[in-house]
Structure 1
Amino acid sequence: MSNLEIRGLKVSVKLPDGQLKPILAGVDLTVRAGETHAIMGPNGSGKSTLAYSIAGHPKYQITGGSVTLDGADVLSMTVDERARAGLFLAMQYPVEVPGVSVANFLRTAKTAIDGEAPKLRTWAGELRGAMERLQMDPAFAQRNVNEGFSGGEKKRHEIVQLELLKPKIAILDETDSGLDIDALRVVSEGVNRIGATGETGLLLITHYTRILRYITPDYVHVFARGRIVEEGGPELAEKLEAEGYERYLAETGPATA
């Protein structure tokens, strides 16, 4: 079983004046294949910083701690090496890629990760099936990546990638952002299909509980002031829905973001 281990992770961002602003203040978290973890917290608490730091975004500077995937040092890897190792990031704001079709993008990504091109006679069917399960018109395969897509279409495309690339660990950064109720249901069903295989560990980042009505996490982690301040099961999400985050923000500790 694949295993992502984060130990004492500290991350800062460089400000325009050159100074480093601490964002993550020592994060400890383990995500195993077959598990679904939800990280919940208010805006500015460092949730997305955690996601992008694991993925290797150059904006963020690691100042302490470690991240390993099946024992391999993730922080020493380039971004493409992290993807080939089995990490996947579904972005909160997927970018447009003019001039590159969805079909070419997905096949190129699959080839890069697997080390060999998927067989054409089966790949077309796999792509069409994944798009149909996400209720995407197969014609989108010939459109440029995310260009002119609605918010819901972009997020559905992210889950199509997830289904086809089959990563070891998938980080979903506010996948529910900008989705109407129908798109939320379809996207959640896609995430649940991946989780049901038992082959992928899911780290779902959100500050709303509505997606957790469709995706039941095994573990819920409350994120505040750059660290995990409380952990529990699905019942913790219900508590947050009722009480909010105020008490976590009021507790003493370093204000990091």
Structure 2
Amino acid sequence: MPTLSIRDLHVSVETDQGAKEILKGVNLDINSNETHAVMGPNGSGKSTLAYSLAGHPKYEVTAGTAELDGEDLLEMSVDERARAGLFLAMQYPVEVPGVTVTNFLRSAKTAIDGEAPKLRTWTKELNAAMEALRVDPSFAARNVNEGFSGGEKKRQEILQMELLKPKFAVLDETDSGLDVDALRVVSEGVNRAKQNTDVGILLITHYTRILQYIKPDHVHVFVDGRVAEEGGPELAERLENEGYDRFLSATA
């Protein structure tokens, strides 16, 4: 069973005042076909965890380990991490002028698999995934995220996940900026990918709204760069009712 294992992870970023530690010893284990929700207030380190795992150069790992199927993730380049089975859906997807969605997705699939997908099979799979996510077929010929609304960008991220079939997907606030209908469609895409490929999900969110559609197996509360509490779906319900005040008062 594929496993993403994080041990005592410490991460710093450079600021005007010098290096600042954001993650202060994070421990997480995510197995195939599990959904882990990471929740917490702003500035608690949730997105730092996502980008550190993906290999963003802004974030410096100063201690700890992260292993995917026993392989050292932190020693891999960004593209090696993707080929090993890690996927990141960004909170703020970037525009890629001059590159169409079709070319981007097929190039990414070729890079991940080491060979180009057969065109007839690929076209059928792409069209089916776009239809399921209610993406207008014309978007395939448009440049990646250029002129897309926030909801369209988020659907594009999930479209990538469905087609690339990673072992583990980190979804960084995929629910932000989505209306109710878009949230439902995006959530259906995540659930479909999990059902079809057994992908392990690390779902980063502020709110429990998306957890009504994507049911977590485990919930982790991030506060001040650490996991402050862990539990099942009932922990998310408690956070919905009580907020994060009891955690913040403990660190004040």
Report deviation, 1:198. 5.3
Paired position in structure 1 for 2:61:
62
> 1:47-86 CA distances to partner (integer Å, 9 max, x unpaired)?
0000000000000110100000000000001101100110
Shift of 1:199: 2.1
What count of residue pairs does the alignment treat as equivalent? 252
State the 1:221 CA deviation. Answer: 0.5
Q: How does 1:30-69 map to 2 (within 5 A)?
A: 30-69=29-68
1:178 maps to: 177
Identity %: 72
Taking the aligned partners of 1:128 and 1:182, their CA distance within structure 2 comes to: 21
List runs of 5+ in structure 1 lacking aligned partners.
none
Verify: 1:23 aligned to 2:22, yes or no: yes
Per the alignment, residue 3 of structure 2 pairs with 3
Measure, in 2, the Cα distance between the counterparts of 1:50 and 1:197. 26
Distance 1:194 1:2 in 2: 16
Q: Contact between 2:165 and 2:197, CA under 8 Å: does it hold in 1?
A: no
Q: Equivalents in 2 of 1:179, 1:69: separation in Å?
A: 31
CA distance in 2, matches of 1:209, 1:198: 25
Q: Which residue of 2 aligns with 1:210?
A: 209
Q: Secondary structure at the match of 2:220?
A: strand
User: Is the 8 Å Cα contact of residues 5 and 28 (structure 2) preserved in structure 1?
Assistant: yes
Contact 2:85 2:166 in 1 (8 A): yes
* Mapped contact 1:172–1:203 kept (Cα < 8 A): yes
Mapped to 2, the partners of 1:2 and 1:230 lie a distance apart of: 24
TM-score (norm 2): 0.98
2:204 corresponds to 1:223: no
Name the SS of the counterpart of 1:239 in structure 2: helix
| RMSD between aligned residues | 0.9
CA distance in 1, matches of 2:181, 2:8: 39
Question: Does residue 70 of structure 2 align to residue 71 of structure 1?
Answer: yes
CA distance in 2, matches of 1:229, 1:194: 29
Distance in 2 (alpha carbons) for counterparts of 1:2 and 1:98: 35
Cα distance in 1, alignment partners of residues 41 and 177 from structure 2 = 17
Q: Is the 8 A contact 1:34 1:197 kept in 2?
A: no
Matched to 2:39, the amino acid is M
> Which runs of structure 1 show a deviation greater than 6 angstroms over 4 or more consecutive aligned residues?
none
Q: CA deviation at 1:124?
A: 0.5
1:163-194, CA deviations, whole angstroms, 9 ceiling, x for partnerless residues? 00000000000000000000000000001111
Partner of 2:115: 116
Deviation at 1:145, TM superposition (A): 0.1
Counterpart code for 2:98 = G
The question of whether the paired residues in 2 share the 8 Å contact of 1:74 and 1:82 is answered with: yes
- Residue 159 of structure 1 corresponds to 158
The residue that corresponds to 1:131 in the other structure is: 130
